[in-house]
Amino acid sequence: MLKGDGRLGHDLDPQDRAPKDACGVFGVWAPGEDVSKLTYYGLYALQHRGQESAGIAVSEGNRILVYKDMGLVAQVFDESILGTLRGHLAIGHCRYSTTGSSVWENAQPTLNSTDDGGLALAHNGNLINTAQLAEGVAPGSIRASTDTEVLTALLAKHGSRPVEDVAAELLPEVKGAYSLVWMTETTLFAARDPQGIRPLVLGRLERGWVVASETAALDIVGASFIREVEPGELLTIDERGVRSQRFAAPEPKGCLFEYVYLARPDTTIAGRGVQATRVEVGRILAREHPVDADLVIPTPESGTPAAIGYAEQSGIPYGQGLVKNSYVGRTFIQPSQTIRQLGIRLKLNPLREVIQGKRLIVVDDSIVRGNTQRAIVKMLREAGATEVHVRISSPPVSWPCFYGIDFATRAELIAGSLTVEEIRHSLGADSLGYISLEGLTRATTLPADRLCRACFTGEYPIPIEDDRVGKFVLEAQR
């Protein structure tokens, strides 16, 4: 499995970047609509899922035109560029690399020529048998180091057969997580792996259809939510409407971490609002790990919903103790050594008048390596907090993900080698409490056997078959 070896821009602490999803995907079939702008706004709503590159492919019926570049959606596209992307259907993608390095060649959508035109594809997820699939691709037809490029080449080999027939034959052989949107000159397609690990939804426009990674993207383009694309389902969308076929029996294993961190709070997954789930997680966390304190504060914005729930359940007042600089997410300018020494203060700064003399409960969504939480605890003490109690709205992240989240190897994860008490001591907190896996699962209202919880348990729902990936798993488990 090819791992990303480059990054666009720089996190303030490159050793403690937050977990990143592979990407966000969007597709629209809507004659008479400005599909490039709809796709732009859809990607804008999905920007949190990937910030390294962005791209849009469009077709007016005769040819596919792709524009993509490194950077955020608003950096890649402007009014003049979108004005050149005309057509009646489009797909879009915003990327964070989990396979293949962060370079232009690996930006999506990918494009491949076919016997009768072209095919463009965008992918959210991560495949685990890419090397095996690549054996079926003609030499020289792959130009990028991604599993998406392999899929595009295989789907483009349809000859005179309908693309949906080729897809229905190919997709059962594809292992791993994939929520796909792709297009020919005339038709939009969407598919989701049999486990449904990554989200994908279908929406209705007045004059067309939309598929997207999250319901929030439907909202921003004015599409009404119809339903989720089912695990193991392939959709074909053209002038005849939406046609559905099953290419595999569904074995639902939706990613539990979508509820913790990845999805927007205004998104709905499996009929349950993410915001409501995160607030309920906070309530459960308060019941599982109560503590006497004066104020509950979140690490903004990732810990905000759970902090609200914790305050509601505990009766301890909720407050804002940390101010976030919304414009420091990813920067293209390397911080100077002087600025780097300030560390977390570039992103967060304490409100001293709120914090001083208080016993604080600080709620965040996860601890990956621990550097950020360690810096926050130190900063709050320096601002006058008398006690700092850390509460985490996910169980300890102890295992790497092979299905589209850029978690570190097990050796790099702080919970991969330390106990909760050892982590507490490392952070310098007065106490540390993680929600239980059972509590987090209960908050989703889904049964445990319908969720992928591998990053918490090490139990992977899709067997690792590729030798190189299997070796990576074994090394990660040591």
Kindly list the strands in the beta sheet with 64-70, ordered across the sheet, starting from the edge strand earlier in the chain.
64-70, 53-59, 89-95, 23-29, 208-212, 201-205, 224-228
Question: What pLDDT is stored for residue 145 in this prediction?
Answer: 56
Question: What pLDDT is stored for residue 453 in this prediction?
Answer: 97
Q: Which of the residue ranges 99-113, 207-221, 250-264, 272-286 would you say has the lowest mean pLDDT?
A: 99-113
Predicted TM-score (pTM) of the model is 0.88
Average pLDDT of every residue of the chain: 88
Catalytic residue, from 23, 25, 28, 476: name it: 23
The CB-based long-range contact list for 470-477 (8 Å cut-off, 24+ gap) reads 472/1, 472/400, 472/402, 472/409, 473/400, 473/402, 475/409, 476/399, 476/400, 476/409, 476/410, 476/411, 477/399, 477/410
pLDDT-based confidence at residue 411 (cuts at 50, 70, 90): confident
Question: What pLDDT is stored for residue 160 in this prediction?
Answer: 81
365 among the known binding-site residues? yes
CA atoms in the 13 A half-sphere facing the CB of 118:
17
Mapping DSSP to helix (H, G, I), strand (E, B) and coil, where does residue 349 land? Answer: strand
Mapping DSSP to helix (H, G, I), strand (E, B) and coil, where does residue 296 land? Answer: strand
Q: How is residue 386 written in tokens?
A: 């008398």
Domains and CATH numbers, the chain: 14-253 (3.60.20.10), 272-461 (3.40.50.2020)
Q: Catalytic site residue 23?
A: yes
Which has more confidence, 350 or 339?
A: 350
Give mean pLDDT, residues 245-255.
Answer: 97
Question: What pLDDT is stored for residue 409 in this prediction?
Answer: 77
Give mean pLDDT, residues 375-393.
Answer: 97
94 among the known binding-site residues? no
Q: Which of the residue ranges 6-20, 104-118, 429-443 would you say has the lowest mean pLDDT?
A: 6-20
pLDDT in tens, 28-49: 999 999 999 999 999 999 999 9
Question: What pLDDT is stored for residue 143 in this prediction?
Answer: 61
Question: What pLDDT is stored for residue 102 in this prediction?
Answer: 55
255 among the known binding-site residues? yes
Please name which of 298, 421, 372 lies closest in space to residue 17, comparing C-alpha atoms.
372
The residues near 263 (Cβ < 8 Å, ≥ 6 apart) are 199, 214, 269, 274
pLDDT-based confidence at residue 332 (cuts at 50, 70, 90): very low
Q: Which of the residue ranges 93-97, 189-193, 405-409, 417-421 would you say has the lowest mean pLDDT?
A: 405-409
Tally helices (H) and strands (E) across the chain: 17, 23
Question: What pLDDT is stored for residue 18 in this prediction?
Answer: 52
